[in-house]
Amino acid sequence: MGWLKRNLFFVIGVVVALGLLGAAGFYDYAGWTHNQAAFDKLNGVYSQWSTAARTTPSPGSGAVDNIAAAKDQEARLRQWINQTTNYFQPVAPIPRPANGQVSGELFAGALHQTVAQLQLDATNANVALPPQFDFSFTAHMDRLTFALGSLDPLSVQLGEVKAISEILFGTGINAMDGIQRVPVSPDDASGSQTDYLTDQPVTNDLAVLVPYAVTFRGFSPEIARVLVAFASSPNGFIVKNISIQPAGAATDIQPGGAAGTDPNAPQMPAPMPGKGGLQTVLNEQLLRVTLTVELVKLTPKN
Protein backbone atom coordinates (compact mmCIF):
# COMPACT_ATOMS: atom_id res chain seq x y z
CA MET A 1 0.00 0.00 0.00
CA GLY A 2 2.84 2.33 0.80
CA TRP A 3 4.29 1.82 -2.71
CA LEU A 4 0.86 2.52 -4.29
CA LYS A 5 0.53 5.74 -2.32
CA ARG A 6 4.02 6.81 -3.28
CA ASN A 7 3.42 6.03 -7.00
CA LEU A 8 -0.26 7.01 -7.26
CA PHE A 9 0.22 9.32 -10.24
CA PHE A 10 2.24 6.66 -12.05
CA VAL A 11 -0.53 4.09 -11.54
CA ILE A 12 -3.20 6.52 -12.74
CA GLY A 13 -1.13 7.27 -15.87
CA VAL A 14 -0.74 3.55 -16.59
CA VAL A 15 -4.51 2.98 -16.26
CA VAL A 16 -5.30 5.91 -18.53
CA ALA A 17 -2.76 4.71 -21.10
CA LEU A 18 -4.25 1.21 -21.08
CA GLY A 19 -7.69 2.72 -21.59
CA LEU A 20 -6.54 4.77 -24.53
CA LEU A 21 -4.81 1.76 -26.07
CA GLY A 22 -8.01 -0.24 -25.72
CA ALA A 23 -10.07 2.52 -27.36
CA ALA A 24 -7.59 2.80 -30.21
CA GLY A 25 -7.67 -0.95 -30.74
CA PHE A 26 -11.47 -0.95 -30.81
CA TYR A 27 -11.50 1.95 -33.32
CA ASP A 28 -9.03 0.16 -35.57
CA TYR A 29 -11.07 -3.02 -35.43
CA ALA A 30 -14.32 -1.19 -36.27
CA GLY A 31 -12.64 0.61 -39.20
CA TRP A 32 -11.16 -2.64 -40.52
CA THR A 33 -14.58 -4.34 -40.28
CA HIS A 34 -16.22 -1.47 -42.21
CA ASN A 35 -13.55 -1.51 -44.92
CA GLN A 36 -13.80 -5.28 -45.25
CA ALA A 37 -17.59 -5.07 -45.64
CA ALA A 38 -17.24 -2.36 -48.33
CA PHE A 39 -14.59 -4.41 -50.10
CA ASP A 40 -16.81 -7.52 -50.05
CA LYS A 41 -19.70 -5.47 -51.45
CA LEU A 42 -17.49 -4.09 -54.23
CA ASN A 43 -16.37 -7.61 -55.13
CA GLY A 44 -20.01 -8.70 -55.27
CA VAL A 45 -20.97 -5.87 -57.62
CA TYR A 46 -17.95 -6.54 -59.83
CA SER A 47 -18.81 -10.24 -59.94
CA GLN A 48 -22.40 -9.44 -61.01
CA TRP A 49 -21.15 -7.04 -63.70
CA SER A 50 -18.68 -9.64 -65.01
CA THR A 51 -21.40 -12.28 -65.16
CA ALA A 52 -23.77 -9.94 -66.99
CA ALA A 53 -21.06 -8.91 -69.45
CA ARG A 54 -20.39 -12.56 -70.37
CA THR A 55 -24.05 -13.57 -70.59
CA THR A 56 -25.63 -13.99 -74.03
CA PRO A 57 -29.20 -12.57 -74.12
CA SER A 58 -31.75 -15.30 -74.06
CA PRO A 59 -33.64 -15.88 -77.35
CA GLY A 60 -36.73 -16.74 -75.33
CA SER A 61 -38.80 -19.85 -75.27
CA GLY A 62 -42.29 -20.92 -76.21
CA ALA A 63 -44.45 -17.93 -77.14
CA VAL A 64 -41.64 -15.50 -76.22
CA ASP A 65 -39.25 -14.89 -79.12
CA ASN A 66 -36.90 -12.07 -78.12
CA ILE A 67 -34.90 -12.23 -81.34
CA ALA A 68 -38.00 -11.80 -83.52
CA ALA A 69 -39.23 -8.97 -81.29
CA ALA A 70 -35.88 -7.17 -81.60
CA LYS A 71 -35.92 -7.52 -85.39
CA ASP A 72 -39.49 -6.21 -85.52
CA GLN A 73 -38.60 -3.17 -83.43
CA GLU A 74 -35.58 -2.48 -85.64
CA ALA A 75 -37.77 -2.68 -88.78
CA ARG A 76 -40.28 -0.25 -87.27
CA LEU A 77 -37.53 2.18 -86.33
CA ARG A 78 -36.06 2.11 -89.84
CA GLN A 79 -39.53 2.61 -91.33
CA TRP A 80 -40.09 5.65 -89.11
CA ILE A 81 -36.72 7.11 -90.10
CA ASN A 82 -37.54 6.62 -93.79
CA GLN A 83 -40.90 8.34 -93.35
CA THR A 84 -39.31 11.42 -91.78
CA THR A 85 -37.25 11.99 -94.91
CA ASN A 86 -40.51 12.80 -96.73
CA TYR A 87 -40.62 16.05 -94.74
CA PHE A 88 -37.03 17.04 -95.52
CA GLN A 89 -36.85 16.79 -99.29
CA PRO A 90 -33.93 18.77 -100.72
CA VAL A 91 -34.67 21.85 -102.82
CA ALA A 92 -33.44 21.51 -106.39
CA PRO A 93 -30.67 24.01 -107.27
CA ILE A 94 -31.13 26.45 -110.17
CA PRO A 95 -29.76 25.66 -112.68
CA ARG A 96 -29.32 21.90 -112.42
CA PRO A 97 -27.43 20.73 -115.51
CA ALA A 98 -27.34 17.04 -116.34
CA ASN A 99 -23.56 16.87 -116.11
CA GLY A 100 -23.54 18.69 -112.76
CA GLN A 101 -21.22 21.44 -114.03
CA VAL A 102 -22.62 24.96 -113.55
CA SER A 103 -20.99 27.52 -115.80
CA GLY A 104 -21.09 31.27 -115.34
CA GLU A 105 -23.12 31.75 -118.51
CA LEU A 106 -25.59 29.06 -117.50
CA PHE A 107 -26.07 30.53 -114.01
CA ALA A 108 -26.44 34.09 -115.30
CA GLY A 109 -29.20 33.04 -117.68
CA ALA A 110 -30.97 30.99 -115.01
CA LEU A 111 -30.74 33.85 -112.52
CA HIS A 112 -32.37 36.38 -114.86
CA GLN A 113 -35.04 33.89 -115.86
CA THR A 114 -35.84 32.93 -112.26
CA VAL A 115 -36.03 36.53 -111.02
CA ALA A 116 -38.26 37.50 -113.93
CA GLN A 117 -40.52 34.51 -113.26
CA LEU A 118 -40.80 35.35 -109.56
CA GLN A 119 -41.67 38.96 -110.39
CA LEU A 120 -44.38 37.72 -112.74
CA ASP A 121 -45.66 35.29 -110.10
CA ALA A 122 -45.89 38.14 -107.60
CA THR A 123 -47.89 40.23 -110.07
CA ASN A 124 -50.26 37.35 -110.77
CA ALA A 125 -50.72 36.78 -107.01
CA ASN A 126 -51.31 40.53 -106.38
CA VAL A 127 -48.23 40.70 -104.15
CA ALA A 128 -46.47 44.08 -104.19
CA LEU A 129 -42.67 44.11 -104.52
CA PRO A 130 -40.12 46.89 -104.02
CA PRO A 131 -38.93 48.51 -107.28
CA GLN A 132 -36.24 46.51 -109.12
CA PHE A 133 -36.47 43.74 -106.55
CA ASP A 134 -33.93 41.01 -107.31
CA PHE A 135 -34.73 38.64 -104.40
CA SER A 136 -31.32 39.22 -102.70
CA PHE A 137 -29.27 38.61 -105.89
CA THR A 138 -28.65 42.26 -106.85
CA ALA A 139 -24.88 41.77 -106.64
CA HIS A 140 -25.02 39.08 -109.35
CA MET A 141 -27.63 40.35 -111.80
CA ASP A 142 -25.18 42.22 -114.06
CA ARG A 143 -22.36 39.68 -113.92
CA LEU A 144 -21.20 37.26 -116.56
CA THR A 145 -18.25 35.99 -114.56
CA PHE A 146 -18.43 34.87 -110.95
CA ALA A 147 -15.96 34.25 -108.13
CA LEU A 148 -14.23 30.90 -108.23
CA GLY A 149 -16.14 28.21 -106.36
CA SER A 150 -19.28 30.30 -105.87
CA LEU A 151 -21.53 28.98 -108.65
CA ASP A 152 -22.62 25.79 -106.89
CA PRO A 153 -23.63 27.46 -103.58
CA LEU A 154 -25.28 30.32 -105.48
CA SER A 155 -27.34 27.91 -107.57
CA VAL A 156 -28.40 26.12 -104.37
CA GLN A 157 -29.47 29.41 -102.78
CA LEU A 158 -31.33 30.50 -105.90
CA GLY A 159 -33.44 27.35 -105.76
CA GLU A 160 -34.12 27.84 -102.05
CA VAL A 161 -35.03 31.54 -102.44
CA LYS A 162 -37.44 30.57 -105.21
CA ALA A 163 -39.06 27.93 -102.96
CA ILE A 164 -39.48 30.43 -100.10
CA SER A 165 -40.91 33.11 -102.40
CA GLU A 166 -43.42 30.71 -103.91
CA ILE A 167 -44.61 29.76 -100.42
CA LEU A 168 -45.26 33.43 -99.62
CA PHE A 169 -46.98 34.15 -102.96
CA GLY A 170 -49.34 31.24 -102.42
CA THR A 171 -50.66 32.53 -99.09
CA GLY A 172 -52.24 35.79 -100.25
CA ILE A 173 -49.89 38.24 -98.55
CA ASN A 174 -50.15 41.91 -99.55
CA ALA A 175 -46.47 42.66 -100.11
CA MET A 176 -43.05 41.07 -99.94
CA ASP A 177 -40.52 43.63 -98.72
CA GLY A 178 -37.30 41.61 -98.56
CA ILE A 179 -35.50 38.32 -98.28
CA GLN A 180 -32.09 37.72 -96.71
CA ARG A 181 -29.65 34.87 -97.18
CA VAL A 182 -26.16 33.90 -96.02
CA PRO A 183 -23.37 35.36 -98.21
CA VAL A 184 -21.61 32.53 -100.05
CA SER A 185 -19.50 34.40 -102.61
CA PRO A 186 -16.90 37.18 -102.50
CA ASP A 187 -19.14 38.93 -105.06
CA ASP A 188 -21.78 39.33 -102.34
CA ALA A 189 -19.65 42.05 -100.76
CA SER A 190 -20.52 44.38 -103.66
CA GLY A 191 -24.26 44.04 -103.15
CA SER A 192 -26.66 45.71 -100.76
CA GLN A 193 -25.94 44.42 -97.28
CA THR A 194 -29.66 44.32 -96.55
CA ASP A 195 -29.69 41.20 -98.75
CA TYR A 196 -27.61 39.20 -96.29
CA LEU A 197 -27.74 37.68 -92.83
CA THR A 198 -24.97 37.74 -90.27
CA ASP A 199 -26.02 34.29 -89.03
CA GLN A 200 -24.27 31.23 -90.41
CA PRO A 201 -25.46 27.68 -91.13
CA VAL A 202 -25.23 25.24 -88.21
CA THR A 203 -24.17 21.63 -88.71
CA ASN A 204 -24.91 18.74 -86.34
CA ASP A 205 -24.78 14.95 -86.61
CA LEU A 206 -28.05 14.77 -88.55
CA ALA A 207 -28.43 17.87 -90.69
CA VAL A 208 -27.27 21.31 -91.78
CA LEU A 209 -29.55 24.19 -90.70
CA VAL A 210 -29.44 27.06 -93.20
CA PRO A 211 -31.02 30.37 -92.09
CA TYR A 212 -33.12 32.75 -94.19
CA ALA A 213 -35.15 35.82 -93.25
CA VAL A 214 -38.20 37.17 -95.07
CA THR A 215 -40.20 40.34 -94.49
CA PHE A 216 -43.74 40.72 -95.78
CA ARG A 217 -46.96 42.55 -95.08
CA GLY A 218 -50.40 41.12 -94.58
CA PHE A 219 -53.28 40.67 -92.20
CA SER A 220 -53.53 38.06 -89.46
CA PRO A 221 -55.20 35.38 -91.68
CA GLU A 222 -52.34 35.66 -94.19
CA ILE A 223 -49.77 35.38 -91.39
CA ALA A 224 -51.45 32.21 -90.19
CA ARG A 225 -51.41 30.79 -93.72
CA VAL A 226 -47.70 31.59 -94.07
CA LEU A 227 -46.89 29.70 -90.88
CA VAL A 228 -48.98 26.73 -91.96
CA ALA A 229 -47.38 26.73 -95.41
CA PHE A 230 -43.86 26.62 -94.00
CA ALA A 231 -44.84 23.91 -91.50
CA SER A 232 -46.40 21.72 -94.20
CA SER A 233 -43.66 22.24 -96.78
CA PRO A 234 -41.93 18.99 -97.85
CA ASN A 235 -38.58 20.83 -97.85
CA GLY A 236 -38.12 21.01 -94.08
CA PHE A 237 -38.57 24.71 -93.31
CA ILE A 238 -38.69 25.56 -89.60
CA VAL A 239 -39.82 28.98 -88.37
CA LYS A 240 -37.35 30.01 -85.66
CA ASN A 241 -38.41 33.59 -84.94
CA ILE A 242 -41.25 35.94 -85.82
CA SER A 243 -41.42 39.73 -85.37
CA ILE A 244 -44.71 41.57 -85.97
CA GLN A 245 -45.34 45.31 -86.00
CA PRO A 246 -47.89 47.67 -87.56
CA ALA A 247 -47.17 48.37 -91.23
CA GLY A 248 -47.89 52.08 -90.92
CA ALA A 249 -44.28 53.13 -91.60
CA ALA A 250 -42.32 51.63 -94.47
CA THR A 251 -39.19 49.88 -93.20
CA ASP A 252 -36.64 47.55 -94.64
CA ILE A 253 -34.83 44.64 -93.03
CA GLN A 254 -31.20 45.11 -92.10
CA PRO A 255 -28.51 42.44 -91.68
CA GLY A 256 -29.52 40.10 -88.90
CA GLY A 257 -33.20 41.04 -89.19
CA ALA A 258 -33.11 44.61 -87.81
CA ALA A 259 -35.47 47.21 -89.20
CA GLY A 260 -34.63 50.50 -90.91
CA THR A 261 -36.23 53.06 -93.20
CA ASP A 262 -36.81 52.13 -96.86
CA PRO A 263 -38.31 54.98 -98.95
CA ASN A 264 -38.68 52.67 -101.97
CA ALA A 265 -40.88 50.10 -100.23
CA PRO A 266 -44.36 49.84 -101.77
CA GLN A 267 -46.99 51.76 -99.84
CA MET A 268 -50.28 50.10 -98.98
CA PRO A 269 -53.43 52.26 -99.15
CA ALA A 270 -54.81 53.32 -95.79
CA PRO A 271 -58.31 52.00 -94.94
CA MET A 272 -61.15 54.47 -95.49
CA PRO A 273 -62.76 55.73 -92.27
CA GLY A 274 -66.34 54.68 -91.58
CA LYS A 275 -69.18 57.11 -92.31
CA GLY A 276 -71.78 56.67 -89.63
CA GLY A 277 -73.86 53.52 -89.42
CA LEU A 278 -72.94 50.63 -87.15
CA GLN A 279 -69.98 50.92 -84.81
CA THR A 280 -66.81 49.14 -85.98
CA VAL A 281 -66.22 46.18 -83.69
CA LEU A 282 -63.06 44.85 -85.37
CA ASN A 283 -60.77 46.97 -87.52
CA GLU A 284 -58.11 44.63 -88.94
CA GLN A 285 -54.73 46.33 -89.18
CA LEU A 286 -52.12 45.66 -91.84
CA LEU A 287 -49.06 44.11 -90.21
CA ARG A 288 -45.40 43.90 -91.12
CA VAL A 289 -43.84 40.54 -90.34
CA THR A 290 -40.22 39.39 -90.31
CA LEU A 291 -39.73 35.64 -90.18
CA THR A 292 -36.48 33.83 -89.55
CA VAL A 293 -36.70 30.36 -91.04
CA GLU A 294 -34.20 27.52 -91.17
CA LEU A 295 -34.00 25.02 -93.99
CA VAL A 296 -33.11 21.57 -92.64
CA LYS A 297 -30.81 19.66 -94.99
CA LEU A 298 -30.27 16.07 -93.87
CA THR A 299 -26.69 14.89 -94.09
CA PRO A 300 -26.08 12.01 -96.52
CA LYS A 301 -26.35 8.53 -95.04
CA ASN A 302 -23.11 6.60 -94.72
Q: Where do the domains of the chain lie, and which CATH numbers do they carry?
A: 87-265+286-298 (3.30.70.60)
Most confident of the ranges 64-78, 91-105, 155-169, 243-257: 155-169
Minimum mean pLDDT among 13-22, 44-53, 148-157, 187-196: which range?
13-22
Reported confidence tier of residue 62, pLDDT bands at 50, 70, 90: low
Reported confidence tier of residue 159, pLDDT bands at 50, 70, 90: very high
Tell whether the model's pLDDT for residue 156 goes beyond 90: yes
- The pLDDT, as a whole number, for residue 105 is 93
Most confident of the ranges 35-39, 116-120, 243-247, 283-287: 116-120
Reported confidence tier of residue 71, pLDDT bands at 50, 70, 90: confident
Q: From CA 160, how far away is CA 204, in angstroms rounded?
A: 20
- The pLDDT, as a whole number, for residue 131 is 94
Minimum mean pLDDT among 21-30, 119-128, 175-184: which range?
21-30
- The pLDDT, as a whole number, for residue 59 is 56
Q: From CA 125, how far away is CA 122, in angstroms rounded?
A: 5
Reported confidence tier of residue 254, pLDDT bands at 50, 70, 90: very low
Of 40 and 240, which is predicted with more confidence? 240
Tell whether the model's pLDDT for residue 250 goes beyond 70: no
Tell whether the model's pLDDT for residue 270 goes beyond 80: no
For 205-233, the pLDDT digits (tens) are 888 999 999 999 999 999 999 999 999 99
Q: What is the pTM of this model?
A: 0.66
In this prediction, residues 92-103 reach a mean pLDDT of 90
- The pLDDT, as a whole number, for residue 207 is 87
Tell whether the model's pLDDT for residue 31 goes beyond 80: no
Tell whether the model's pLDDT for residue 261 goes beyond 50: no
